[in-house]
Amino acid sequence: MRSSGVVWPDGQRVAVCLTWDVDGESALYSRQAERSRNQLGELHQRSYGPEVGVWKILSLLEKYELPATFYVPGYIADRYVSVVREIVERKYPVGLHGYLHESMDTLTREQEEDVIVRAKRSLSNLLGREPILYRAPSWELNRWTPDLLIKHGIISDSSLMDDEVPYALETDSGHLIEIPIQWILDDAEYWLHTRANRDKPISDPDTTLKIWEREFKGYYEHSGCYVLTLHPFISGRWVYMQTIEALIRYIRKFPRVWWTTVEEVTRYSESLLKVGQLRVKKPVPPEPTVQRR
């Protein structure tokens, strides 16, 4: 098996990034407009994230003195200014996440660029600088997305699933640092429950915890970058907050864990790229092509 590990700074064995996508009610407006006009319940369930869940998360991070990264749609930054400002004032990195959590693969290049520009404007007003991090809503990129991101000053993306460590994605415009993620490390796959998907059972939190613990152990043994993706309107509920806290306590038992942010991993990856120690990949071709690897 190919060793995919990275030599982390100061002899650390693994990098751990706790990340939260503060989607709020944004996605419902862009993806289910008719429901958002007629059904108040789901909008309010999702607004629980910025209204209540974020504050629980900030308290948890403060309790354990942990770093974290937040991805925020532009609409949420515009609507919940005090919430995002609090995140920024506590020095947590904030990245782009669409404007209305749009499904990017349904947009033209021009439409997607408009979304990026609009979202950048919203976040820049609160950050006091232009954002450099990006995560695609629902983790879907168009083939032109990496070039658009580089064009607009984005340094790293966290949307692809082909590795367990950062790498440089080669584009016509330059290199984009990719911080890989995975569905099994996403709370929505276990606990998202709405009127529209009521047939989907809610997973037992203890079972989810076991999955996350076992996956972490693999990342630890192979010097990976363990990125947990959470949503305040989901994981902000008490039972799930307890599960996340249990995971934190589990990971803290391991020595040489680099609790870090996506921004710090991005900067470190850039330094590795400069000295030829970061793997460079090209996007998978759009049609079947034999490439010896």
192 vs 7, 44, 96, 278, CA distance in Å? 35, 14, 22, 35
Sorting pLDDT into bands at 50, 70 and 90, what band is 293?
low
| Among 81, 154, 87, CA closest to 116 | 154
Sorting pLDDT into bands at 50, 70 and 90, what band is 2?
low
**Interacting residues of 92 by C-beta distance below 8 A, sequence separation 6+:** 61, 67, 68, 69, 70, 261
* HSE toward the beta carbon, residue 26, CA cutoff 13 A: 27
Give residue-wise pLDDT tens across range 229-245.
999 999 999 999 999 99
- Cβ–Cβ < 8 Å for 226, 219: yes
Q: Is the pTM of this model over 0.85?
A: yes
What CATH fold (topology level) applies to the domain 9-281? TIM Barrel (3.20.20)
Give the pLDDT mean for 47-66.
98
- Cβ–Cβ < 8 Å for 166, 278: yes
